[in-house]
Amino acid sequence: MDRVNFGDKLSVAPVAVGMMNLLEWGLDAKRLSERVKEYLELGLTTYDFADIYGNGGCEVLFGEMLRLEPSLRDKVEIITKGGIVYDKLRRPYFVSESYNLSKDYLISACEASLKRLGVESVELYLIHRPCPLMEPGEMADAMETLQKEGKVNNFGLSNFLPEQIAALKAYTDIPIVTNQIKMSVKCMDFLADGTQEDALRRKMPLMAYSPACGGELYRKNLSREDFEIVKVLREIQEELGAETIDEVLYAWLYRLPVKVIPVTGTGKKERVLRAVKALEYKMSREQWYDILRIARPGHVSAKYHDI
């Protein structure tokens, strides 16, 4: 597989292994190390975390694996995120209280992630979500401090709009090497909000979470709209010679002009490999638009006006 450059200092696998649900996979540190070794043989070297995943437990388990198999550290790229504040005593799992992108909070959140992971630095740190109260100058100060102290090698963002990226960039020369956003045939906001064009202008790859729609299209009782989407996906699956509609979903993202690195969300190896298999397919313009038209009716317009 061809590697993807994130700026001048980092290259990643074309598919990132998402670790959000790691604690649900039924793996201890030993079995996780075996899984990671299997992925490494396939070129899957990039692992995506956040401090809130499993209330920090996902980072802890990966850290236990690295202590068990220290040689794996130099073979993987670790991505993690911070900026979401939650109170695990007052709220159920994964419900945020607020965002905090202040300098002190971002630094402490990153340092806490490093401690849980048992590493001195991470290859890539993402600011998880924009905050209405964010002060770009403080965010920039945090980034510069973490980079100067050798705790973060590269920085990116997650769920940021172009204007928000521009606001941050006005305060720092540190490169923003990626923006991780929700992208799929059922989440196409990036086609209308300028995100893709901004990434192209910056020559910045995008990372896509929930690229296979979070399994929604595999439900037994599909909505009428989803039933029609699946119908078209299966037609294109046959045309491409793909084994599953998952591969079609990934191929649709790979057809975009911007470079997209999907972040898988499954603990099933065979489903992760579908994202890899889809790299082999070349979806035609017509097939891509067939999916767009059924998944987002009205997005393609052909109106004629008198001059």
Question: What distance in Å separates the CA atoms of residue 262 and residue 131, rounded to the nearest whole number?
Answer: 24
Burial 273-283 (b: 16+ CB within 10 A, else e): bbbbbbbebeb
Q: How many CA atoms lie within 13 A of 97 on its CB side?
A: 9
Q: Are strands 206-209 and 155-158 parallel, antiparallel or unpaired?
A: unpaired
| Ranges of H-type helices in 46-160 | 57-68, 103-117, 136-148
In whole angstroms, give the CA distance from residue 252 to residue 231: 15
Q: Give the DSSP H or E segment for 121.
A: none
User: What is the DSSP secondary-structure string of 17-49?
Assistant: EE-TTGGGS---HHHHHHHHHHHHHTT--EEE-
b/e for 9-18, b at 16 or more Cβ within 10 A? ebebbbbbbb
Q: What angle do CA 71, 69, 148 make, to 5 degrees?
A: 60
| From 39, 47, 53, 125, the catalytic residue | 53
Q: What is the number of other CB atoms lying within 10 angstroms of the CB of residue 121?
A: 16
**Of 117, 110, 104, 113, nearest to 147 (Cα)?**
110
53 catalytic residue (yes or no): yes
Tell me the one-letter amino acid at 142: A
User: 3-class secondary structure for 221-234?
Assistant: CCCHHHHHHHHHHH
Catalytic residues: 53
